[in-house]
Amino acid sequence: MEPLKFIGATAFAVIIARWGADAGLAWLNRREVQAHAGAVPLAYRDTMDAPTYQRSVDYTLSRSRFGLWSDAWEVLVVLALLFSGVLPASFAAVRDALGSSAWADAVWIFAIGVAMSVASLPFEAWAQFRLEQRFGFNTTTVATWCLDRIKGFLLALALGYPLLVLILRLVDWMGPRWWLWAFAVFLGFQVLLLVLAPVLILPLFNKLTPLPDGELRTRLLQLGQRAGFNAQTILVMDGSKRSRHSNAFFTGFGRFRKIVLFDTLIAQLTPVELEAVLAHEMGHYKLGHIPRRLAGSAALMLAGFWAIAWLLARPEFAAAFGFAPGSGLAPTLLLFGLLSGSVSFWLSPVLNHWSRVHEFEADAFAARNMASREPLQGALRKLSEKNLSNLTPHPLYSAWHYSHPTLLEREAALARVPV
């Protein structure tokens, strides 16, 4: 087989293999869920009624069916972009109109990204206003949903486009080692976002208000002192503006660190259960999970930029998809972006296993600091019930798709923690 045809055939096979494997995992998961659909799992018969469990089964199966359609559409869009000739044709058209420069090439990459986002909008809308609405989770309006996407586009334009231009320029400025500089710039940008997001970006989408004085605030501040974790601010976010799903997280670094609680979470849990959830999140910081995760992400990012540089040095890669010799970094960068997800998919079990180990450790930290397993166990059960979580996923599906252990796994691990 000719080299160019071999590259194209390999890319096609990688995409189809990823899609087929994911569809197979979804099929296994549906079978597992249906096999346990007749009765509430024995461990939860005292805490979850049959109608709620049946809704969780229906929700899981509905999301799985929807996922098959949306994933198939995404694969079709990627294949159309790669093999229809639209990418080299649009690239040539942009260069004819704007010239050959990093600014023009960035316009092309940005436009392709916007086109792909627009193509996915019908599925996003269906998920929000049909699927989530059907199970009582959606609380957003069409106006808010549209405004969120407009804000996201403007943020990408204001922050992502200049970053893209800078990375494209580094090839000319830094020579063969450009990819090391690109990695450093991109990593620095991500760290800067972690600092600025809670101050500049998050308030564009949600209202954040200080947690009022009372039992909950006193508990959380005392917990922080006990655990040696001092946050400057405890904020409540109006998550109910968009969904009844709940969450809690820490954001920022050092003296800019903030605790953020969804208002839905506060409504669903008792103060002692909320304290246990926050103790779990503090555990991630105190046990060094955050810097380790950042280091792991940085290592993968570095490998990605090295791979882009390696592909850029082989003109036959871009040529296999119709690009003319001397097209520069932009085509290789976009092609890598389109193909990388199908490759990184096979790393998911390893990355998820690492994440689950951290979750077990944070659970144990919370139990020890609360001097009891019951508050966290109660919170986990309530959150699983309120969010209609899948209580019986297939082990292989869980390995590929769950960054957190299942409820049964977490409770079994908690039972072994000395308190």
Q: What is the pLDDT of residues 218-253, one digit of tens each?
A: 888 888 777 777 666 788 989 899 999 888 877 766
Retrieve residue 268's tokens: 């669903």
**Residue 1 in this model has a pLDDT that exceeds 70:** no
**Residue 175 in this model has a pLDDT that exceeds 70:** yes
Averaged pLDDT, 69-86: 96
| Sign of the torsion formed by the C-alpha atoms of 242, 247, 248 and 250 | negative
pLDDT of residue 379: 93
The CA-atom distances, in angstroms, between 308 and each of 7, 15, 82 are 15, 18, 17
The answer to whether 183 and 301 are in contact (CB under 8 A) is yes
Averaged pLDDT, 308-335: 94
pLDDT of residue 224: 78
- How much of the chain exceeds pLDDT 70, in percent? 98
**Residue 297 in this model has a pLDDT that exceeds 80:** yes
pLDDT of residue 285: 85
Mean pLDDT over all residues of the chain? 91
* Nearest CA-CA partner of 104 in 48, 190, 25, 168: 168
What's the CA gap between 47 and 64, in Å, rounded?
A: 26
Lowest mean pLDDT segment, chosen from 1-15, 102-116, 131-145, 296-310: 1-15
In whole angstroms, what separates CA 268 from the centre of its chain? 24
- Residues noted as catalytic: 281, 363
Retrieve residue 88's tokens: 């080299």
* Nearest CA-CA partner of 387 in 409, 363, 411, 404: 404
The DSSP secondary structure of 5-45, one letter per residue, reads HHHHHHHHHHHHHHHHHHHHHHHHHHHHHHHTTTS--GGGT
The CA-atom distances, in angstroms, between 263 and each of 168, 229, 275 are 42, 22, 15
Of residues 380 and 326, the one with the higher pLDDT is 380
The DSSP secondary structure of 150-190, one letter per residue, reads HHHHHHIIIIIHHHHHHHHHHHHHHGGGHHHHHHHHHHHHH
Long-range contacts of the stretch 167-174 (C-beta < 8 A, 24+): 167/329, 167/333, 168/102, 168/105, 168/106, 168/328, 168/329, 168/330, 168/333, 169/102, 171/312, 171/328, 171/329, 172/102
Full-model pTM: 0.91
pLDDT of residue 252: 66
pLDDT of residue 256: 63
pLDDT of residue 231: 64
pLDDT of residue 254: 61
pLDDT of residue 165: 95
Lowest mean pLDDT segment, chosen from 155-164, 219-228, 292-301: 219-228
The answer to whether 65 and 394 are in contact (CB under 8 A) is no
* Nearest CA-CA partner of 157 in 121, 109, 203, 190: 109
Q: What is the pLDDT of residues 190-213, one digit of tens each?
A: 888 887 777 788 888 989 888 888
Averaged pLDDT, 253-272: 82
DSSP state of 200: I
Retrieve residue 283's tokens: 């555990």
Q: Report angle CA 324, 328, 329 to the nearest 5 degrees.
A: 125
Averaged pLDDT, 310-334: 93
- Residue 251 main-chain phi, psi, to 5 deg: -145, 155
Place of tokens 């570095």: 302
3-state secondary structure of 244: coil
What's the CA gap between 181 and 165, in Å, rounded?
A: 14
Q: What is the pLDDT of residues 18-52, one digit of tens each?
A: 999 999 999 999 999 999 998 888 888 877 889 99
What's the CA gap between 276 and 206, in Å, rounded?
A: 25
What's the CA gap between 363 and 359, in Å, rounded?
A: 6
**Residue 67 in this model has a pLDDT that exceeds 70:** yes
